[in-house]
């Protein structure tokens, strides 16, 4: 459990190239590929490396880790800091960046949770045809191929266009593909160079994360899936007939950029349609061309592959990651299912807490504050957080302890339950000060409560002598309200790199998700997890269904359909809230809104953007001609068709620095009926005048494009970001975009 926190520290540290324990492997990025001959590219790589190895070809070959030659050009190599610096000055080199480690976007790897199987998306009137033609690549921890979720029963032969491989690996039993898992590769060189760890070379998943995400997006139907009896029922992934291609880049302690880029490079060549990445940089993210995931996904999108990713689990404002406009970035929401344990106090009061713990207490036990059982050199304050060794076993034995858990805690709630158990206590109530509503598979009877309930329990303890309590085993509760709501851990906008592009793009279920697991980890076949890692594959699955029906749609058209059909209302028709405290969600929490499968197949209009538009976007944020050329490898020039990033044809509109008035241009493409008439309906952000021209769009044919402008001006004083929406409406489709505006403050730059 401490591994995750250790991981965070490491990632932050390796962000800075100049520190003494700089990474050993660097990625030399050289933009688009210029040759189709891998041998020739390898020879060129060695030549470049020879130059920094004082002419030694032998040393050059030794230092070479990967050659990227399919989707883009570059290589990874073991270099000293000076050699890396020298590389940046060589012709053709776009950027040189260290081999950063990425984290999987699961909240506290060990804090497991669960969600209803009914939410596996039964969509009335929804075409589920042609899924078997769609190939989804997962860049993750691998997969457990024997899981029934990945059975190829009744699946047709592998599409002939597939060019991928199946590495059987050295693990026993050997990995084998089938008509469901049609490709599997592993990437260990970048990890092994940094961690000096020996790993079993195989695409087999020994963690569980990769099996979980793949089965959420594309798992077959399992009729009796459950986690120790919780969340029992039938469950399947979003696109159960879609094909899975596995790119294992993540090992015990994380995923390294050199490996991730190699996976992108192969996936582009193999012919995947969609890439799903439930992982990402720690916030803040580096600039687009110093960031392996941005680079890899740019080239993937240029090859018509939609990249779906998670926004991160930091939870704080401005912490969103995977910020590139060519990615579809997913936030996490809670659904209407909870796993709760009853905490019954001896005075007849009952409270409910979140838990996945199935242990049954034989009889009520005395409940005390952990602060009152402190031991050793620890203060009562320290032991109130139940940190390791802070409890006196003589005092704690046989009792239920009330522990605190701070937002900044470096241990997990699961770890606290182990500390409490070691001290001989029989139960635990944990007060989560961050209200991160994540239920946990505790090692003893235990439940998580918020600060309000926690204070009431502590107050009872203060005022009642020898108060006793009983914690019941967790049970599944359906219909909890409000639902959906954004989880506390889901990372939020604004976009720290390019505020003109709203991130996240969309929110989807990411709390309490039951899906396949690796039996190599805790001997479980299914598990309940939470995180934006779990939200991402819900979108991936839905995107696969769209791709199946509209194989010719561009990645951005599919992304537009997902975003403009999202909902910002909960099941009762109220605005979606952003945390258990009831704060109303904004576009920074939700993106365009909660994933709404009913609208995605008939979006009516789409905001399309092509690789050329992303190039213009890069020019608009300051890439000059030369840098652009290096990146794209073609002759495209900065045409300045986009003067600011706000004008990228994106399905949301953000103006982060409004001075006087400002007009944004968008182009919509008709993908509905030939003849259709759309009217603009604006819900202006408070204090902002919004003028759409023209107000009516009349289309005569499928595929027709129309331009419109949205003119913003301040009508009243407003501070910080304000939010509204624009909807193009005809009789059938509602095409909604969030409007996000901040009026420039006079004390420029502040805020
Ligand atoms: C839970 O799963 C096990 C197999 O993993 C199955 O035997 C059992 O019937 C399931 N229970 C329910 C209630 O679905
Ligand atoms: C409190 O919970 C216990 C155990 O679940 C139950 O037996 C009791 O009826 C509950 N009391 C109230 C007042 O709901
Ligand atoms: C633990 O508490 C007991 C009983 O109060 C006391 O005798 C003992 O010294 C304490 N041990 C430590 C290590 O503080
Ligand atoms: C309980 O009592 C302690 C002192 O004995 C005090 O510090 C604490 O604030 C009280 N807590 C509540 C919730 O009343
Ligand atoms: C770029 O332009 C040059 C000269 O006009 C031409 O020779 C070359 O083939 C072009 N390259 C690409 C990739 O289009
Ligand atoms: C929309 O605007 C673009 C760029 O300004 C222009 O090239 C295009 O002709 C316009 N399309 C229509 C239908 O007006
Ligand atoms: C936008 O609207 C403002 C006032 O409503 C007007 O003065 C300005 O000319 C408009 N700008 C454009 C580009 O249409």
Per-residue model confidence as pLDDT tens digits over 278-319: 998 876 788 888 889 999 999 999 999 999 999 999 889 999
Q: Which residues are catalytic?
A: 140, 209, 533
Q: What is the pLDDT of residues 692-706, one digit of tens each?
A: 999 999 999 999 999
Residue 661 buriedness (CB in 10 A; 0-12 / 13-18 / 19+)? exposed
Give the Å distance between the CA of 661 and the centre of ligand 7. Answer: 6
Q: Is 232 in the pocket of ligand 1 (CB under 6 A)?
A: yes
Q: Which of the two residues, 8 and 436, has the higher pLDDT score?
A: 436
Q: Which of 222, 226, 515 to mutate to test the pocket of ligand 1 (most atoms within 8 A of CB)?
A: 226
Confidence of residue 435 (pLDDT cuts 50, 70, 90): low
Q: How far is the CA of 191 from the centre of ligand 4 (A)?
A: 49
Backbone angles phi and psi of 304, in degrees to 5: 70, 25
The secondary structure element, H or E, covering residue 545 is helix 532-549
Going by C-beta distance under 8 Å and a sequence separation of 6 or more, which residues neighbour residue 160?
A: none
* Ligand nearest to the backbone CA of 225: 1
Cβ pair 582, 485 in contact under 8 A: no
Cβ(464) – ligand 4 distance below 6 Å? no
Neighbours of 387 (CB within 10 A): 18
Which atom of ligand 6 has the smallest separation from the CA of 667? 1
* C-alpha Rg value of the chain to the nearest Å: 26
Spatial distance between the Cα atoms of 102 and 308, rounded to a whole number of angstroms = 16
pTM of this prediction? Answer: 0.88
> Does residue 104 have its Cβ closer than 6 Å to ligand 4?
no
Instruction: Spell out which residues line ligand 3, taking CB within 6 angstroms.
Output: 375-376, 392, 394-395
Higher-scoring residue by pLDDT: 198, 441: 441
pLDDT above 90 for 731:
no
Q: Which residue's CA is the closest to the ligand 5 atom numbered 8?
A: 635
- Tell me which of 33, 633, 635 to substitute to probe ligand 5's pocket, judged by most ligand atoms within 8 Å of the beta carbon: 635
Closest ligand 4 atom to residue 461 Cα is: 1
Q: Could you tell me if the CB of 472 is within 6 A of ligand 2?
A: yes
Backbone φ and ψ for 517, nearest 5 degrees, come out as -140, 170
CB-ligand 5 contact for 634 (6 Å cutoff): yes
d(CA 386, CA 535): 31
> What pLDDT sits at residue 94?
84
Return d(Cα 249, Cα 190) in angstroms, integer: 9
How many Cβ atoms sit within 10 Å of the Cβ of residue 480?
A: 14
Question: Which H/E stretch holds residue 711?
Answer: strand 705-714
State the distance from the centre of ligand 5 to the C-alpha of 644, rounded, in angstroms: 28
Residue 197 has pLDDT above 80, yes or no: no
Rounded to an integer, the average pLDDT of 472-496 is 88
Q: Out of 28-37, 163-172, 347-356, 496-505, which region has the weakest mean confidence (pLDDT)? A: 28-37
> Is 455 close to ligand 4, i.e. is its CB under 6 Å away?
yes
Residue 748: band (very low, low, confident or very high) from pLDDT cuts 50, 70, 90: very low
Q: Provide the mean pLDDT of the chain.
A: 87
Ligand positioned closest to the Cα atom of 402: 4
Residue 539: per-residue pLDDT = 94
Residue nearest to atom 7 of ligand 3 (CA): 394
Span 369-375, average pLDDT = 94
DSSP string of 600-647? Answer: HT--SEE----HHHHHHHHHHTT--HHHHHHHH-S------S-SSGGG
Distance (angstroms) between ligand 6 centre and the Cα of 704 equals 11
Is the predicted pLDDT of residue 9 greater than 60, yes or no?
no
Q: What integer pLDDT is reported at residue 229 of this predicted model?
A: 81
Could you give the C-alpha distances from 429 to 360, 367, 384, 645, in angstroms and in order?
Answer: 14, 9, 11, 49
The Å distance, Cα 453 to ligand 4 centre, comes to 14
| Sign of torsion over alpha carbons 414, 582, 315, 230 | positive
Q: Judge if the beta carbon of residue 693 lies within 6 A of ligand 7.
A: no
Name the closest ligand to CA 341.
2
Q: Atom of ligand 6 at shortest distance to CA of 707?
A: 1
- Which residue has better confidence, 751 or 419? 419
**Range from 11-15, 283-287, 723-727, 737-741 carrying the lowest mean pLDDT:** 11-15
Measured CA to CA, the distance from residue 375 to residue 377 in angstroms comes to: 6
> For 48, what's the count of Cα atoms within 13 Å in the CB-facing half-sphere?
27
Give tens-digit pLDDT for 566-621. Answer: 999 988 899 999 876 788 999 999 999 999 888 888 999 999 999 999 999 999 99
340 CA distance to ligand 2 centroid (A)? 14
Measured in Å, residue 652 CA sits from the centre of ligand 7 at: 21
342 CB under 6 A from ligand 2?
yes
The proportion of the chain whose per-residue pLDDT surpasses 70, expressed as a percent, equals: 92
Do 729 and 679 form a contact (C-beta atoms < 8 A)? yes
Q: What's the mean pLDDT in 39-58?
A: 92
């Amino acid at each position: 459990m401490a591994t995750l926190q250790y991981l965070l520290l490491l990632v932050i540290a390796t962000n800075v190239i100049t520190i003494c324990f700089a990474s050993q492997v660097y990625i030399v990025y050289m933009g688009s590929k210029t040759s189709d001959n891998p041998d020739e590219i390898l020879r060129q790589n060695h030549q470049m490396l020879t130059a920094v190895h004082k002419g030694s070809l032998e040393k050059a070959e030794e230092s070479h880790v990967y050659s990227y030659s399919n989707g883009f050009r570059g290589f990874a190599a073991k270099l000293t800091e000076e050699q890396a610096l020298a590389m940046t000055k060589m012709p053709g080199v776009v950027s040189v960046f260290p081999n950063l480690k990425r984290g999987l976007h699961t909240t506290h790897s060990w804090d497991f949770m669960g969600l209803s199987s009914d939410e596996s998306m039964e969509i009335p009137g929804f075409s589920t045809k042609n899924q078997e033609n769609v190939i989804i690549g997962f860049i993750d921890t691998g997969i457990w191929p024997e899981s029934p979720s990945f059975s190829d029963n009744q699946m047709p032969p592998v599409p002939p266009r597939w060019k991928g491989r199946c590495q059987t690996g050295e693990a026993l039993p050997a990995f084998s593909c089938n008509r469901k898992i049609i490709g599997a590769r592993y990437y260990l060189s970048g990890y092994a160079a940094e961690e000096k760890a020996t790993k079993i070379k195989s695409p087999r998943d020994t963690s569980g994360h990769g099996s979980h995400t793949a089965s959420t997006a594309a798992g077959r139907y399992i009729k009796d899936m459950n986690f120790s009896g919780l969340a029992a029922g039938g469950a399947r992934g979003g696109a159960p007939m879609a094909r899975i291609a596995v790119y294992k880049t993540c090992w015990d302690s994380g995923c390294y950029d050199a490996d991730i880029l190699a996976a992108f490079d192969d996936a582009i060549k193999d012919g995947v349609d969609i890439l799903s990445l439930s992982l990402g940089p720690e916030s803040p993210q580096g600039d687009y061309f110093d960031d392996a995931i941005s680079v890899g996904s740019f080239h993937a999108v240029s090859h018509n592959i939609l990249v779906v990713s998670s926004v991160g689990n930091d939870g704080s404002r401005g912490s969103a990651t995977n910020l590139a406009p060519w990615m579809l970035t997913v936030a996490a929401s809670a659904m209407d299912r909870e796993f709760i344990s009853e905490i019954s106090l001896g005075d007849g009061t009952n409270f409910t807490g979140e838990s996945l713990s199935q242990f049954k207490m034989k009889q009520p036990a005395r409940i005390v504050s952990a602060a009152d059982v402190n031991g050793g050199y620890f203060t009562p304050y320290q032991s109130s957080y139940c940190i390791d060794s802070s409890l006196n076993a003589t005092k704690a034995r046989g009792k239920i302890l009330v522990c605190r858990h701070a937002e900044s805690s470096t241990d997990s709630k699961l770890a606290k339950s182990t500390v409490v158990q070691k001290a001989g206590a029989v139960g635990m109530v944990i007060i989560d000060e961050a209200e991160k509503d994540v239920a946990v598979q505790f090692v003893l009877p235990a439940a998580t409560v918020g600060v309000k309930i926690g204070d009431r329990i502590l107050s009872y303890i203060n005022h009642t002598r020898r108060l006793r309590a009983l914690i019941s085993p967790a049970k599944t509760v359906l219909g909890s309200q409000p639902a959906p709501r954004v989880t506390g851990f889901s990372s939020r906008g604004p976009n720290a790199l390019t505020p003109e592009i709203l991130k996240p793009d969309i929110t989807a279920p990411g709390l309490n998700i039951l899906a396949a697991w690796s039996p190599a980890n805790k001997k479980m076949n299914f598990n309940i997890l939470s995180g934006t890692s779990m939200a991402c594959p819900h979108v991936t699955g839905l995107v696969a269904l769209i791709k199946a029906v509209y194989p010719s749609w561009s990645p951005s058209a599919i992304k537009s359909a997902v975003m403009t059909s999202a909902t910002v209302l909960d099941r009762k028709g109220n605005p979606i809230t952003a945390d258990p405290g009831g704060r109303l969600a904004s576009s920074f929490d939700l993106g365009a809104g909660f994933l709404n499968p009913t609208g995605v197949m008939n979006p009516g209009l789409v905001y399309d953007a092509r690789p050329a538009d992303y190039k213009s976007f890069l020019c608009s944020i300051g890439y000059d001609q030369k840098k652009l050329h290096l990146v794209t490898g073609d002759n495209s020039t900065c045409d300045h068709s986009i003067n600011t990033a706000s004008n990228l044809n994106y399905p949301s509109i953000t103006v982060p620095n409004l001075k006087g008035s400002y007009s944004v241009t968008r182009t919509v493409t008709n993908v509905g009926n030939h003849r259709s008439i759309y009217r603009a309906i604006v819900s202006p952000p408070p204090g902002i005048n919004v003028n759409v021209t023209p107000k009516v769009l009349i289309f005569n044919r499928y595929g027709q494009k129309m331009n419109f402008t949205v003119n913003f001006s301040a009508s009243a004083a407003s501070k910080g970001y304000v939010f509204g929406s624009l909807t193009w409406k005809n009789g059938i489709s509602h095409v909604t975009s969030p409007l996000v505006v901040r009026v420039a403050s006079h004390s420029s730059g502040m805020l």
